[in-house]
Amino acid sequence: MWFTQALYYGLCWLPWNGRQAVLFDLVERKFYIFGLVFWPQDVFFLAVLLIISAYALFLFTAVGGRLWCGYACPQTVYTEIFMWIEQKIEGNHNARIRLDRQSMNARKASLRGLKYAAWAAVALWTGFTFVGYFTPIQTLWNELWQFSLGPWETFWFLFYGGFTYLMAGHMREQVCLYMCPYARFQGVMFDPDTLVITYDPERGEPRGARSRKIDYRAKGLGDCVDCGICVQVCPTGIDIRNGLQYECIGCAACVDACDQVMDKVGYRRGLIRYTTENAMEQHWGWKDILAHIVRPRILIYTSILAVITVAFVWGLATKATLRVDVIRDRATLAREVEDGLIENVYRLQVMNVSESPQRYVLSTMGLDRIQLMAEPIMDVPAATTKSFTVQVRVPPESAKKGSHTIYFDVKSTIDEKVAVHEKATFLMP
């Protein structure tokens, strides 16, 4: 959990090649992720990345239940940070209940004020970090202290911060219950070999209060003393003894609470524990549970995930660093120039997707004695698109009337492998 947050708060401050390492520059429509630069044309990679994330989620859910919720979900993570602050300032659960019952006094007011201020600070910092992924955070930081933040930056900063405060401070598990789509469909990824929080009914039932002096087993009672603490500690307010329910976020609060009770009454721990349905029924140990991780469902998820990931990495590694779009100039279709040559005009959009400035050489081919009337050297700065107007001339005897295919070749002078062979049409009047 601390890992994801260190990543979130820290990554936007990391420099890379004289710019922010991870920056989603909306204004320039370029996304920088370390050495990679993504343009709107690369949306395909985003789609693949989403598919990979979905399969990873399926896989982790099938193996370990709601791992996502406890370790990565921002909702849970911020709720935990906020609860941690609450505990540090107002004390443990019982101290907080006592504080709640008190009428307003100086101590309560100061504790509450401190708590809300600390929450607000975390929320605002979160909001600031969020905006820092879209506007360079160094600039943003300076602007913040000069009170010159742009109106929309301020809006998103307060919007994100405000919602963090609301969700983590006040809504908490309500979000999981009413807003989370994952909670609703995670059930389909479960099978009897998925690790979940489970109550052992065979051991616990029939539940009931009992005197310490009597032998409860002789009276036909199970290990559950029906203290109800598992229900009290449950953040979503369910009774785990009724079986697995979609509200269960796998926080294991009931496991810890029940173990404490079991220690107190002197019974064996693990009446509520992290295990699988099969293991519970067939009294397996951890060895059997681990052995059952390898099953068709898991193998299928893993192999699909592996294939897509390899394809993704391969796609990234071979991502073209040069793109050329040829657009025919619409104003002048074709015209006759001096010496009776026929001229067509094109606009070349040269996109240097690499991180260094490039010099390209342009050439053309496809028709007999075809001539390029423009400067064949094109300099394009790093990660920029530059537009060049290019005239191409052909003697009238080279081709018949109509449209003909010609090619533009754009080659980098720095790296020979970087070359584009682009088709265009030449009109002969």
Partner 1 sequence: MQRLIWIFWPAFVVAGVAEILFFTMIDPKELYLFGEPVRLSPLATYSIGFLGFWMVCAASNLLTCFMMRSADEVNRRKDRGGQGGSSRRTCG
Name which position in 10, 35, 113, 150 contacts partner 1 (CB under 8 A): 150
Which phi and psi (to 5°) does residue 307 adopt? -60, -50
Q: What's the Cα-to-Cα distance from 322 to each of 319, 350, 388, rounded to whole Å?
A: 9, 7, 15
Q: How far is residue 248's CA from residue 251's CA, in Å, rounded to a whole number?
A: 8
Contact 352, 379 (CB under 8 A): no
Residues between 109 and 138 with contacts to partner 1, criterion CB under 8 A: 134-135
Burial class (CB in 10 A: 0-12, 13-18, 19+), 26: exposed
> Shortest distance, CB of residue 220 to partner 1, whole angstroms?
39
Q: How far is residue 229's CA from residue 234's CA, in Å, rounded to a whole number?
A: 8
Under the binding rule (CB under 8 A), the answer on residue 141 touching partner 1 is: no
Under the binding rule (CB under 8 A), the answer on residue 330 touching partner 1 is: no
Name which position in 34, 84, 125, 155 contacts partner 1 (CB under 8 A): 155
Q: How far is residue 159's CA from residue 154's CA, in Å, rounded to a whole number?
A: 8
Q: How far is residue 157's CA from residue 92's CA, in Å, rounded to a whole number?
A: 32
**Given the complex with partner 1, which of 43 and 209 has the nearer CB atom?**
43
Q: How far is residue 404's CA from residue 400's CA, in Å, rounded to a whole number?
A: 9
> Shortest distance, CB of residue 87 to partner 1, whole angstroms?
26
Q: How far is residue 279's CA from residue 297's CA, in Å, rounded to a whole number?
A: 18
Only one of the segments 120-128, 149-157, 251-259, 399-407 lies at the binding site for partner 1 (rule: CB under 8 A); that segment is 149-157
Angle at 260 between CA 262 and CA 244, to 5 degrees: 80
Paired with 345 in beta bridges are 391
- Hey, is 266 helix, strand or coil? coil
Under the binding rule (CB under 8 A), the answer on residue 84 touching partner 1 is: no
What is the contact mask toward partner 1 in residues 166 to 205, using x (rule: CB under 8 A)? ------------xx-x------------------------
Residues 6 or more apart whose CB falls under 8 angstroms from that of 44 comprise: none
**Given the complex with partner 1, which of 25 and 80 has the nearer CB atom?**
25
> Shortest distance, CB of residue 356 to partner 1, whole angstroms?
25
Count of residues near partner 1 by CB under 8 A: 17
**Given the complex with partner 1, which of 3 and 178 has the nearer CB atom?**
178
> Shortest distance, CB of residue 146 to partner 1, whole angstroms?
18
Name which position in 115, 129, 153, 276 contacts partner 1 (CB under 8 A): 153
Please provide the distance, in angstroms rounded to a whole number, between the alpha carbons at the two ends of the chain: 69
> Shortest distance, CB of residue 139 to partner 1, whole angstroms?
13
Under the binding rule (CB under 8 A), the answer on residue 311 touching partner 1 is: no
Under the binding rule (CB under 8 A), the answer on residue 152 touching partner 1 is: yes
Residues between 17 and 36 with contacts to partner 1, criterion CB under 8 A: 26-27, 29
**Given the complex with partner 1, which of 20 and 412 has the nearer CB atom?**
20
Q: What's the Cα-to-Cα distance from 92 to each of 83, 84, 85, 114, 400, rounded to whole Å?
A: 10, 10, 11, 16, 89
Under the binding rule (CB under 8 A), the answer on residue 151 touching partner 1 is: yes
Under the binding rule (CB under 8 A), the answer on residue 43 touching partner 1 is: yes
What is the contact mask toward partner 1 in residues 369 to 398, using x (rule: CB under 8 A)? ------------------------------
Paired with 272 in beta bridges are 199
E-only strand ranges, 229-291: 272-275
**Given the complex with partner 1, which of 27 and 317 has the nearer CB atom?**
27
Contact 200, 272 (CB under 8 A): yes
> Shortest distance, CB of residue 172 to partner 1, whole angstroms?
13
Angle at 197 between CA 194 and CA 201, to 5 degrees: 105
What is the contact mask toward partner 1 in residues 288 to 307, using x (rule: CB under 8 A)? --------------------
Interacting residue ranges for partner 1, rule: CB under 8 A: 26-27, 29, 40, 43, 46, 134-135, 150-153, 155-156, 178-179, 181
